[in-house]
Amino acid sequence: MEIFALEVLRTFATKSVHGEAWPKDVYAVSQYVTDGNIFYFTARNLSSTIHAEDGVLNHLEHLLTSGKLQSQKIKLFLTYSPCHRCSQRILNFIDMARWHHNTILEVEVVFSAFYRVRRPSCERNPACRAASHFPSFDYHRVNVEGLRTLHRAQGIVLRTFNPRDWVDLQVALGVHMFDFGGRQEEDDLLRNDFQQIMGLTSTIPTPILSLVLSEMQTVVRTLLERWRPLQDGGQHFSNGNTS
């Protein structure tokens, strides 16, 4: 199957969340070193059971077993966060390199959209709730579990796209001057959602959090006011100690 670089780049840059259909075209781009040069290999999904990650991992495993994979650092650009099975497959690849080929790999996985995950920003958005484009809780749970396992694993960096990744992806695909306009906002949202899903930040919505904080301030102020007379009275205990 022929893969067109510009089409790949467009798919990566498309904001494929908030009510749009689930992915039809999914791409994975791998970056590694072989024969002293940086190489890129791109794959797309072939069916609902053969994912884009399968394509790049088959390729990398072949290089590894034939002794042609020289880099210990590998970067995977994914249009969607890996599903539970693909998360496991990435981990198996690292294990295989370690136990069968004596190679400690570092794999950086960056993605530009979520695959079948209920995004916190969507859950908070009434328009999203009305559109009911959420994946089922079962899909959500199993995919998040896969992402968390991957995120915690040694030798893996799992994260969302940043501005540098967009530049690197253009280089990988040999496309110049691609307009990524409007991605910044989506990337910020994606990063926040990812951090919340991974349990790295609070999942309490900001308005509730500030309400709780202002309530706490009132309680603390009241306590301080009540405590002040005690404090004044307390002084003479210390005075009393010296006499």
Give the binding site for Zn ion (CB under 5 A). Answer: 18, 51, 83, 86, 122, 128
Given the complex with Zn ion, which of 101 and 159 has the nearer CB atom? 159
Shortest distance in whole angstroms from residue 47 CB to Zn ion = 11
Given the complex with Zn ion, which of 83 and 109 has the nearer CB atom? 83
Query: Six-digit token pair at 154?
Result: 């040694």
21-25: long-range contacts (C-beta < 8 A, 24 or more apart)? 22/116, 22/135, 23/79, 23/80, 23/113, 23/115, 25/79
Shortest distance in whole angstroms from residue 221 CB to Zn ion = 39
Given the complex with Zn ion, which of 64 and 122 has the nearer CB atom? 122
Shortest distance in whole angstroms from residue 125 CB to Zn ion = 6
Shortest distance in whole angstroms from residue 55 CB to Zn ion = 11
Asked if residue 108 lies in contact with residue 75, where contact means CB atoms within 8 angstroms, the answer is yes
Given the complex with Zn ion, which of 51 and 75 has the nearer CB atom? 51
C-alpha dihedral sign at 126, 132, 137, 143: negative
Angle at 241 between CA 239 and CA 242, to 5 degrees: 70
Angle at 37 between CA 34 and CA 39, to 5 degrees: 70
